Amino acid sequence: MNAQDLQHLKNLLLKQRDEIFDRLQRFEADWDALSERDIEMEEEAQKADLTALYDRLDEMEQHEIEEIDRALSKMGTVSYGTCEKCLKPIGLQRLESLPATRFCKRCALKAEKRTGL
């Protein structure tokens, strides 16, 4: 992987990170607006559903940010783009699709089969 590819992937990771933070800010603004309204019974049920959704999104997005930060950190140590399982290079096409991935396609498929995902 050359320096230009690495910079392109770094830009993708930073863009994903910014999009997550923007999405979180929008959710928080929507949540605040919902909290300020007078809530009737039906709206209270909707608010409970939204709370559960927001909590799940928050956890997923925190995990995504952690994965992005891990990938950015690996770029600094030159271990970015190497599968953590088999230690072989991860293909550029896979990294462009999933820039924060830690595993090559083969190892990721094996892990999915083991966990049943």
Query: pLDDT (tens digit, 9 = 90+) per residue, 25-79?
Result: 787 776 666 655 555 555 666 666 666 666 666 778 888 989 999 999 999 888 9
CATH code, 28 = 1.20.120.910
- Domain region containing 96: 3-115
Tell me the chain's radius of gyration from C-alpha atoms: 19
- The count of domains in the chain is 1
Predicted confidence band at 93 (pLDDT cuts at 50, 70, 90)? very high
* pLDDT score of 92 more than 90: yes
pLDDT at 40: 56
Q: List all residues 6 or more positions away from 33 whose beta carbon is below 8 Å from its beta carbon.
A: none
Residue 5 sits at φ, ψ, to 5 deg, of -60, -45
Confirm if 94 and 35 have CB atoms less than 8 A apart.
no
The Cα 14–Cα 99 span in angstroms is 10
* Lowest model confidence (mean pLDDT) among 28-32, 74-78, 85-89, 93-97: 28-32
Which tokens belong to 62? 């925190």
pLDDT at 87 (0 to 100):
96
